[in-house]
Amino acid sequence: MGDQAPPTLEQLARQRLLREEDLTISILEGLPVGLFQEMFQEAFNDRRTNILRAMVSAWPFPDLSVRSLIKDSDLETLKALLDGLDVLITDKVHPRRSKLRVLDLTGVDHDFWRIKAETHEDDCSPQAERQEQPVEVSPNSGVKKRFKVVIDLGLIKTRFNQCDWYLLQWAQQRNDSIHVCCRTLKLWDSPVFAAVQIFKMINLDCILELILSHWSLEFMVQLFPYLEQMRKLHTLELVGIREPLRSTASAEQEWISMLLSQISRFPCLQNLSVHHTYFLTGCLEKWLRCLKTPLKTLSIAGCRLSQSDLDYLSQCLNIRELNHLNLSGVELSDSCPKLLGVLLERISSTLQTLELEECEMRDCHFNAILPSLSQCSQLTVVSFCNNNISLSVLKNLLRHTAKLSKLIYEKYPAPLECYEGLRILKDKFELLCPEMLDIIRAERQPKKVSFCTRTCLNCFHCCFYNLEVRLFCLCP
Kindly list the residues in this chain that would bind Zn ion in the complex (CB under 5 A): 124, 181, 206, 456, 458-459, 473, 475
CB 228 within 8 A of CB 262: yes
Question: Hey, what amino acid is at 348?
Answer: S
The distance of closest approach from Cβ of residue 232 to Zn ion in the complex, given in angstroms and rounded to an integer, is: 9
Between 226 and 409, name the residue whose CB sits nearer to Zn ion: 226
Which H or E element spans position 150?
A: strand 147-156
The helix (run of H) or strand (run of E) holding residue 155 is strand 147-156
Residue whose CB is less far from Zn ion, 144 or 395: 144
* Residues 98 and 59 sit within 8 Å (Cβ to Cβ): yes
d(CA 218, CA 308): 27
Q: Of 138 and 169, which CB lies nearer to Zn ion in the complex structure?
A: 138
Residue number, 63 or 311, with CB nearest to Zn ion: 63
Q: How far is the CB of 296 from Zn ion (least distance, A)?
A: 22
Closer residue to Zn ion (CB): 408 or 475: 475
CA distance 376 to 366: 15
Write b or e for each residue in 174-186: b if 16 or more Cβ atoms lie within 10 A of its Cβ, otherwise e: beebbbbbbbbbb
To Zn ion, the closest distance from the beta carbon of 203 in angstroms equals 5
Separation of alpha carbons 263 and 236, rounded Å: 9
H or E stretch at 239: strand 235-239
What minimum distance in Å lies between the beta carbon of 207 and Zn ion? 9
* Nearer of residues 212 and 456 to Zn ion, judged by Cβ: 456
Q: How far is the CB of 450 from Zn ion (least distance, A)?
A: 18
Closest to Zn ion by CB, 186 or 232: 232
Alpha-carbon span 459 to 461, nearest angstrom: 6
CB of 92 to Zn ion, least distance (A): 26
Provide CB contacts within 8 A for 91, sequence distance 6+.
Answer: none
Half-sphere exposure of 253 (CA within 13 A, CB side): 5
CB of 231 to Zn ion, least distance (A): 12
Label the pairing between strands 178-188 and 409-413.
Answer: unpaired
Shortest Å distance, C-beta 181 to Zn ion: 3
Other Cβ atoms within 10 Å of 13 Cβ, number: 13
Do the Cβ atoms of 67 and 59 come closer than 8 Å? Answer: no
Contact predicate 94/88, CB 8 Å: yes
Nearest approach in angstroms of CB 100 to Zn ion is 16
Is the Cβ of residue 125 or residue 387 nearer to Zn ion in the bound state? 125
* 153/300 with CB nearer Zn ion: 153
Shortest Å, Cβ 28 to Zn ion: 29
Question: Based on C-alpha coordinates, what's the Rg of the chain?
Answer: 26
Give whichever of 146 and 346 is closer to Zn ion, judged by the CB atom: 146
Name the minimum Å distance from CB 180 to Zn ion: 8
**Which residue lies nearer to Zn ion by CB, 181 or 394?**
181
What per-residue string of b and e applies to 62-87 under the rule 16 or more CB within 10 Å gives b? bbbbbbeebeeebbebbbbbbbbbbb
Over 365-387, what HEC string results? HHHHHHHHHHHCCCCCEEECCCC
User: From residue 108, how far is each of 67, 183, 326 by CA, in Å?
Assistant: 7, 10, 21
